[in-house]
Amino acid sequence: MKEVDVQIRRARGVEDYQKIVELEKQVWGYADPADLAAVPILMIANRFGGAVLVAEGPAQRLIGFAMANLGRRSQEKLFWWSHMTAVAQEYQNRGVGLRLKLRQREEALAEGIDEIHWTFDPLQALNAHFNLHKLGVIVREYEENVYGHSTSRLHQGLPTDRFVAEWRLKADRAKSTGSDQVLLEIPANINELRRTDILSAKTWQDRIREACQSYFAAGYVVTDFVEGHYILEKE
């Protein structure tokens, strides 16, 4: 499908934030407003150390956004925590998400930030491909049921287990050494599986959780996602 004519820019004010909240509802299908990143939160992130970016498509329609706030773990350097990135369904897979993340990278570097972190569901092949293969993040952490129960149709039926992605903005993609690699397969379409066979979906989640937790404890990191398999290597 052809690329979209899109402008990426910083969000400018309440009207942009309101449109973003509408997009959050559409993309994730949240039924409970408590699951949303609401207008004041977006405003605070954009004004005080992070960035809210929007993608404007044809007729200036807001078709995507990326929101990051300033983060710090105790005694460590500052980074950006990218809480949400989304593209309207009818514009997905046309490079808009990549454009948003590349602009987020530029904005972070301009602020003296060289790492952006976020979480994603390890069972979602799309996110695995986008984050690991296209952007080149690494993953060293697995967190169980991070957001508790959520009303998103993308999350239903399973605990919200998440990988923590680390995007090192100045580093080359982690180089594959070829030795001591572990391959971990995930299902081709977890959303479909969750609808049709929730027990099997849960079995996949348990298997990936257990494998990742033990490999991470042994010093492995996830460095890529190729043909439905995570690639883990010793750091």
Ligand X SMILES: CC(C)(COP(=O)(O)OP(=O)(O)OC[C@H]1O[C@@H](n2cnc3c(N)ncnc32)[C@H](O)[C@@H]1OP(=O)(O)O)[C@@H](O)C(=O)NCCC(=O)NCCS
Residues within window 133-172 making contact with ligand X, judged by CB under 6 A: 134
Interaction between residue 41 and ligand X (CB under 6 A): no
Our finding on whether 50 is near ligand X (CB under 6 A) is: no
CA distance 205 to 53: 32
Note whether 87 binds ligand X by CB under 6 A.
yes
Among 39, 70, 92, 135, binds ligand X (CB under 6 A): 92
46-54, 82-90, 137-145, 173-181 -> range binding ligand X (CB under 6 A): 82-90
For residues 84 and 222, give the distance between their C-alpha atoms in angstroms, rounded to a whole number. Answer: 21
When the beta carbons of 146 and 171 are compared against ligand X, the nearer one is 146
Position among 81, 130, 142, 163 found at the interface with ligand X (CB under 6 A): 130
11 belongs to the binding site for ligand X (CB under 6 A): no
Tokens (6 digits) for 43: 């405003």
Is there a contact between 85 and 65 (Cβ–Cβ < 8 Å)?
A: yes
Stretch that binds ligand X, among 32-40, 88-96, 169-177, 195-203 (CB under 6 A): 88-96
Task: Closer to ligand X by CB, 66 or 174: give it.
Answer: 66
β pairing state of 115-120 and 79-87: parallel
Euclidean distance between CA atoms 116 and 104, whole angstroms? 9
216 close to 208: Cβ distance less than 8 angstroms = no
- CB atoms under 10 Å from CB of 125, counted, come to 17
- Taking residue 72's Cβ as centre, other Cβ atoms within 10 Å add up to 10
Question: Is residue 84 part of the contact set for ligand X (CB under 6 A)?
Answer: yes
Question: Interface with ligand X by CB under 6 A: which residues?
Answer: 27, 84-87, 92-98, 120, 125-127, 129-130, 134
